[in-house]
Structure 1
Amino acid sequence: MQPTVSLIRANSYDLKNLRESLEALLEPLGGMRSFVKKGDRVLLKPNLLTGSRPTKECVTRPEIVYCVVQMVREAGGEPFLGDSPAFGSALGVAKANGYLPLLEELNLPITEFSGKRYQTVSEQFNHLLLSPEAMNADVIINLPKLKSHVQLTMTMGVKNLFGCVPGKMKAWWHTEAGKDSARFGQMLVETARIINPKLTILDGIIGHEGNGPSGGEPRQLGVLAASSDVFALDRAIAEIVNVDPLLVPTLAASMRLGLCSNLAAIDFPLLQPQDLKVLDWRLPDRMMPIDFGLPRVLKSTFKHFYIRFIKEPLAAYSSR
């Protein structure tokens, strides 16, 4: 079946304008009711990378989540938000990035991911751990942020699903598979295939270019994208920002596995990638190794636990 990727121009996070944009974006895909049925438990998986740079557009905007929550509830679904940030808790990162006023208004639950073993579609990754909170949802809606990435060139829909790997297991995978970028990219692709989000909506209104995923700068791009096929969506976005897909390990792996061969295989019912193309998107100044050595794993683990179990609780206590 030919994948469909819906692309539109959108330049505002104003809630009214954004809601209209999202409705227009999903209309060619059948609207939210094509993905969510009455009574479905719906995981919304944004990019909640870090709470340390809240003005740098490192995370999915809360306004995107707000509008999607409304649309899911109108379709009869029961949404909840979940992620496993690199550092700290989902609640702590959401709070640092201005999520709480909107989420409290909507009374939206925030779930912290834990770990459980799931058999993958590939024997070489059969020890992959995924969150049962994610895997037990009836529907997963993937809400990535468009960013450059110092290890993977770009992070889009496929990479965002790595957040369903709980806690510091992500650092372990950097160590286990990170010595070979092709293997690491395939691991991410296999992860996305298992999770199998029903819908991906990419936040590219303001992206994050340069030394991402957190060390770069905001870039007004004016793009929203949606698809039931996360691999096709990522391929389209790489075309928009004029990045060779073979430089992106997740795209190279998905193409090698026959999951998204070329643009001609994708249906674009609204705008075409060339209608949104930019030629000066900034990639990282230099690429960093994917592999995490033992000292880095230990440092990362300490930082994660310090933020989640000391810094965040102290901040919550002092704000009472």
Structure 2
Amino acid sequence: MVVPISLVRATSYHRPELERSLTQVLAPLGGMAAFVKPGDRVLLKPNLLTASRPTKACTTEPELVYAVAQQVKAVGGKPFLGDSPAFGSAYGVAKANGLLPLAQALDLPIVELHGHRYSTANPDFDHLRLSKEAMEADVVINLPKVKSHVQLTLTLGVKNLFGCVPGKMKAWWHMEAGKDVQRFGTMLVETARLIDPALTIVDGIVGHEGNGPSGGEPRDLGVLGAAGNVFALDRAMVAVLGVDPLVVPTVAQSMRLGLCPAWEELAFPLLAPDDVLVADWQLPTELMPIDFGMPRVVKSTFKHLYIRFIQEPMAAYAGRL
């Protein structure tokens, strides 16, 4: 079975140019209408990550979210924006990253993602606690950012769906599965398999290299990618960056589990990875352990609750004075 991966050169977040790039990258896949039907509730899942470093290109560009939401509405879909950041709320992090004015302009709701238990087909994971809002949406559109990652080498489409795990559960998974990087990678792959995004559009116009996901630096890549298969798109983007797929746990485990198509089954109707190859992409200088001990889990949980229920409400109150 041939799996199409659409790659285009895109160098600007300026709205008219970005809209053209988005239309171009979706055209070989049938356009937005191939994924969204009139009346569909469509979750847009960007990488929000953090409110602390909005100038470092470590979150999905707001203009891309805006352009995708516009196209969803144009074909009759009902988009809403959702995430479960490790620290704080989706609304607070979206606001800090400049998404709020665009969401208001489109009447795009920003929702918090709440957890529910879902059974898996993998005997290593009896169940996973995932966002009910993501699982019950008619369509999920995954909007990751291309970034290096000090724990997982790279973060792309599969890792971005970890944002559909409730905030406090992220720290628990780092404790439960973090001592085995391949098990952690499998958990991320199973999360992506259950959420099953209909469409993934990867923001590689400006990436984040080095000690990501937030401690690195912006890097112009000039690439926009899209596919209906998140595992295949991640595999293609690893090739664009010139990185061995076996050193990226999410890609390696998707291949081991048979979820990522063989390279020979990938088709590139526009540009191939070699056409947009990045010769000197910077990976982390040193990988850090994934596992969290219990003290760090408690600290992480407290930080999440403090930001969400004390810091953000106080900032909102001060803004109204």
Task: Please say whether Structure 1 and Structure 2 have the same fold, judged by a TM-score greater than 0.5.
Answer: yes
Task: Report the secondary structure of 2:54's partner residue.
Answer: coil
**Aligned ranges 1:86-165 → 2 under 5 Å:** 86-165=86-165
Distance 2:318 2:283 in 1: 40
Distance 1:208 1:160 in 2: 14
Distance 2:126 2:9 in 1: 40
2:75 is matched by which residue type in structure 1? A
Residue 261 of structure 1 and its aligned partner are, at CA, apart by 4.8
2:145 is matched by which residue type in structure 1? K
- Name the counterpart of 1:9: 9
Identity %: 69
Residue 264 of structure 1 and its aligned partner are, at CA, apart by 2.1
1:175 is matched by which residue type in structure 2? M
Residue 125 of structure 1 and its aligned partner are, at CA, apart by 1.2
The question of whether the paired residues in 2 share the 8 Å contact of 1:25 and 1:226 is answered with yes
Residue 2 of structure 1 and its aligned partner are, at CA, apart by 1.7
- Name the counterpart of 2:278: 278
**Aligned ranges 1:77-92 → 2 under 5 Å:** 77-92=77-92
Residue 127 of structure 1 and its aligned partner are, at CA, apart by 2.8
Distance 1:75 1:236 in 2: 28
The question of whether the paired residues in 2 share the 8 Å contact of 1:210 and 1:285 is answered with yes
- Name the counterpart of 2:298: 298
- Whether 1:56 and 2:56 are equivalent positions in the alignment is yes
**Aligned ranges 1:33-72 → 2 under 5 Å:** 33-72=33-72
Distance 2:293 2:89 in 1: 24
- Tell me the alpha carbon deviations over residues 104-142 of structure 1, each in whole angstroms, 9 at most, x when there is no partner: 111100010111111112122123101111111000000
- Name the counterpart of 2:239: 239
Distance 2:64 2:123 in 1: 36
Identify which range, 116-125 or 73-82, moves more after superposition: 116-125
Residue 64 of structure 1 and its aligned partner are, at CA, apart by 0.5
1:180 is matched by which residue type in structure 2? D
- Name the counterpart of 2:26: 26
The question of whether the paired residues in 2 share the 8 Å contact of 1:151 and 1:288 is answered with yes
1:23 is matched by which residue type in structure 2? T
- Tell me the alpha carbon deviations over residues 237-294 of structure 1, each in whole angstroms, 9 at most, x when there is no partner: 0011111111100011011112225432201000000000011100011000011111
- Name the counterpart of 2:199: 199
Residue 319 of structure 1 and its aligned partner are, at CA, apart by 0.6
Distance 1:13 1:261 in 2: 31
Tell me the TM-score normalized by structure 2: 0.98
**Aligned ranges 1:207-286 → 2 under 5 Å:** 207-286=207-286
- Tell me the alpha carbon deviations over residues 79-100 of structure 1, each in whole angstroms, 9 at most, x when there is no partner: 0000000111001001001111
- Whether 1:307 and 2:276 are equivalent positions in the alignment is no
Distance 2:90 2:3 in 1: 32
Distance 2:116 2:262 in 1: 35
2:4 is matched by which residue type in structure 1? T
The question of whether the paired residues in 2 share the 8 Å contact of 1:37 and 1:77 is answered with yes
Residue 36 of structure 1 and its aligned partner are, at CA, apart by 0.2
Distance 2:192 2:278 in 1: 27
Identify which range, 132-141 or 260-269, moves more after superposition: 260-269
Distance 2:263 2:17 in 1: 29
Distance 2:315 2:68 in 1: 29
Residue 300 of structure 1 and its aligned partner are, at CA, apart by 0.9
| Runs (4+) off by over 6 Å | none
Task: Report the secondary structure of 2:81's partner residue.
Answer: strand
- Tell me the alpha carbon deviations over residues 166-215 of structure 1, each in whole angstroms, 9 at most, x when there is no partner: 12101111111111111111111111011000000000000000111111
- Whether 1:188 and 2:188 are equivalent positions in the alignment is yes
Tell me the TM-score normalized by structure 1: 0.99
Task: Report the secondary structure of 1:87's partner residue.
Answer: coil
